[in-house]
Structure 1
Amino acid sequence: MPDVEIKIHSGLEVKDGPLLSENIAHLTPSSPSEPLETLRARYNQDGMLLLKGLLPREDVLRTRTKYFEMMSPSGILQPDTQPVQGIFNSARASDDFPGIGAGAAGKNGRPGGESAQVFIDLAIQAHYEDWYTKDLAKHPALLDFMAKFTGWNENTLGLNRSLLRNNVPGTKPIGVHYDQIFLRYGEPTSVTAWVPIGDISLTGGGLIYFENGDALGRQLEQDFTRKARDAGMTDEETKNAFNQNMMSTGLLSECPLEFARQYNWRWLVSDYEAGDVVLHKPHAIHASTINNDPNNVIRLATDLRFVDQSKPYDERWTNFYRFGDGV
Structure 2
Amino acid sequence: MPGISTKNNCLEVNDGPLLPENIAHLTPSSPTEPLETLRARYERDGMLLLKGLLPRENVLRTRTKYFEMMSPSGVLEQSTQPIEGIFNSTRSPDDFPGIGAGAAGQNGRPGGEGAQVFVNLAIEAHYQDWYTKDLAKHPALLDFVATFTGWNENTLGLNRSLLRNNVPGTKPIGVHYDQIFLRYGEPTSVTAWVPIGDVSLSGDTGDAVGVQIEREFTKKAREAGMTEEEARNAFNQNMMSTGLLSEYPLEFARQYNRRWLVSAYEAGDVVLHKPHAIHASTVNNDPNNVIRLATDLRFVDQSKPYDERWTHFYRFGDGV
TM superposition score category, shorter chain reference: over 0.9
Contact 1:11 1:292 in 2 (8 A): no
Deviation at 1:11, TM superposition (A): 4.2
Deviation at 1:102, TM superposition (A): 4.8
2:297 to 297, 304, 307: 304
Query: Structure 1 residue 241 and structure 2 residue 240: aligned?
Result: no
2:214 to 215, 221, 224: 221
Deviations 1:273-306 (A, max 9, x none): 0000000000000000000111110000000000
What TM-score does the superposition give when structure 1 sets the normalisation length?
0.95
Deviation at 1:170, TM superposition (A): 1.3
Deviations 1:25-76 (A, max 9, x none): 1111100010111101110111000000000000000000000000000000
Structure 2 residues without counterparts, runs of 5 or longer:
none
Residue 208 of structure 1 corresponds to which residue in structure 2?
203
Query: Structure 1 residue 170 and structure 2 residue 176: aligned?
Result: no
- Change beyond 3 A, Cα 1:320–1:275: same
Query: Structure 1 residue 265 and structure 2 residue 258: aligned?
Result: yes
For 2:212 and 2:259, the matched residues in 1 are separated by: 18
In the TM superposition, 1:2-41 aligns within 5 A as 10-41=9-40
In the TM superposition, 1:86-125 aligns within 5 A as 86-125=85-124
RMSD: 1.4
In the TM superposition, 1:19-168 aligns within 5 A as 19-168=18-167
Contact 1:102 1:250 in 2 (8 A): no
The residue matched to 1:320 in structure 2 has which SS? coil
Residue 294 of structure 1 corresponds to which residue in structure 2?
287
Whichever residue aligns with residue 183 of structure 1, its letter is L
Whichever residue aligns with residue 298 of structure 1, its letter is I
Structure 1 residues without counterparts, runs of 5 or longer:
none
For 1:187 and 1:115, the matched residues in 2 are separated by: 40
Deviation at 1:129, TM superposition (A): 0.2
For 1:67 and 1:280, the matched residues in 2 are separated by: 25
Contact 2:7 2:285 in 1 (8 A): no
Contact 1:9 1:20 in 2 (8 A): no
For 1:40 and 1:72, the matched residues in 2 are separated by: 41
Deviation beyond 6 Å, 4+ runs, structure 1: none
Deviation at 1:8, TM superposition (A): 9.4
Deviation at 1:262, TM superposition (A): 1.1
Name which of structure 1's ranges 97-106 and 166-175 shifts more when overlaid on structure 2.
Answer: 97-106
The residue matched to 2:265 in structure 1 has which SS? coil
Count the aligned residue pairs.
317
What TM-score does the superposition give when structure 2 sets the normalisation length?
0.97
Residue 196 of structure 1 corresponds to which residue in structure 2?
195
Contact 1:48 1:278 in 2 (8 A): yes
